[in-house]
Amino acid sequence: MNAPAYNFAYLDEQTKRMIRRAILKGIAIPGYQVPFASREMPMPYGWGTGGVQVTAAILGPGDTLKVIDQGADDTTNAVSIRQLFAKTAGVCTTTHTAEATVIQTRHRIPETKLGEDQVLVYQVPIPEPLRFLEPRETETRQMHAHADYGLMHVKLYEDIARHGHISTSYAYPVKVDGRYVMDPSPTPKFDNPKMNDCAALQLFGAGREKRIYAIPPHTTVVSLDFEDHPFEASRTQASCELCGADDSYLDEVITDDRGGRMFVCSDTDYCEARREARP
């Protein structure tokens, strides 16, 4: 098997057209999950098959691709997907957020503010925000059709009744342009405010669940909350031990078996750039 036997960016042209049509409908109906004929990809479900198909459908020879997994450019999933497109599409790749035209992400939004000429592609495991509240697709479809989202508020209320605050910390539900409640994928709720009025186009692909959805640039994205329990973008109260950042989302790293630990930036590019800039 060698790369030239594949079409540009792996997928065949009919598959790309089908995905491209779904992307256009997704953009036209912000936050609505468009069903699409997800293909089997050379990787298991749960590794980003939806994100990979969206990236393959939009990628062109002039693009520069960045892939992150939990904020990091150097983890297995990110490296594999970056290599897949370097091999099958011959595109330039980068780890620098500002240089990328297409960024595929698993579970984080980069710390560096995204620009007008960028597209952020999310890998989504379970696109339906109501799925754990109502398992039947026929019912959740009706709930979206009628904008019947009371159940989601009940869930958040139960969080408060049980824990004193909204304990949902990731995949925190948002309302897009005042209409559809949407799952932002399992990003930490720290990232939710970055989705609102974002200059970049945000596309979401769920391979196993066969759904594509989108947030156009400069769209109002509101995290659901209550007047007396407003949404809070929480982060660990610490600074990165590598770069000193006190405004980034932190990963906790266990350093030994005696309780030693350190907090470091989850966004490796952000952390590296800050360290390089230090005198």
Tokens 């959740």 -> residue: 140
How far apart, in whole angstroms, are the C-alpha atoms of residue 181 and residue 133?
13
Candidates 25-33, 155-163, 250-258, 263-271 — which segment interacts with another protein by CB under 8 A?
25-33
- Shorter beta-carbon distance to another protein: residue 102 or 264: 102
Closest CA to 222 of 234, 230, 214: 230
27 binds another protein (CB under 8 A): yes
Compute φ and ψ for 19, nearest 5 degrees: -70, -40
60 binds another protein (CB under 8 A): yes
- How far apart are CB 194 and another protein at their closest, in Å? 16
- Shorter beta-carbon distance to another protein: residue 22 or 78: 22
- Shorter beta-carbon distance to another protein: residue 6 or 170: 6
Tokens 């293909």 -> residue: 39
115 binds another protein (CB under 8 A): no
240 classed as catalytic: yes
- How far apart are CB 216 and another protein at their closest, in Å? 4
Question: 129-188: which residues touch another protein (CB under 8 A)?
Answer: 141-142, 144-146, 177, 179-180
31 classed as catalytic: yes
- Shorter beta-carbon distance to another protein: residue 182 or 271: 182
- How far apart are CB 195 and another protein at their closest, in Å? 12
How far apart, in whole angstroms, are the C-alpha atoms of residue 184 and residue 217?
15
**DSSP state letters, 245-271:** -SSS-EEEEE-SSSS-EEEEES-HHHH
Point out the catalytic residue in the list 26, 31, 71, 205. Answer: 31
How many helical (H) and strand (E) elements, i.e. helices and strands, does the chain have?
7, 12
25 binds another protein (CB under 8 A): yes
Candidates 56-64, 69-77, 188-196, 233-241 — which segment interacts with another protein by CB under 8 A?
56-64
261 binds another protein (CB under 8 A): no
How far apart, in whole angstroms, are the C-alpha atoms of residue 50 and residue 46?
9
271 classed as catalytic: yes
How far apart, in whole angstroms, are the C-alpha atoms of residue 271 and residue 277?
10
246 binds another protein (CB under 8 A): no
- Shorter beta-carbon distance to another protein: residue 18 or 271: 18
How far apart, in whole angstroms, are the C-alpha atoms of residue 178 and residue 199?
18
| 160 in Cβ contact with 227 (< 8 Å) | no
The residues carrying an active-site annotation are 31, 240, 243, 265, 271
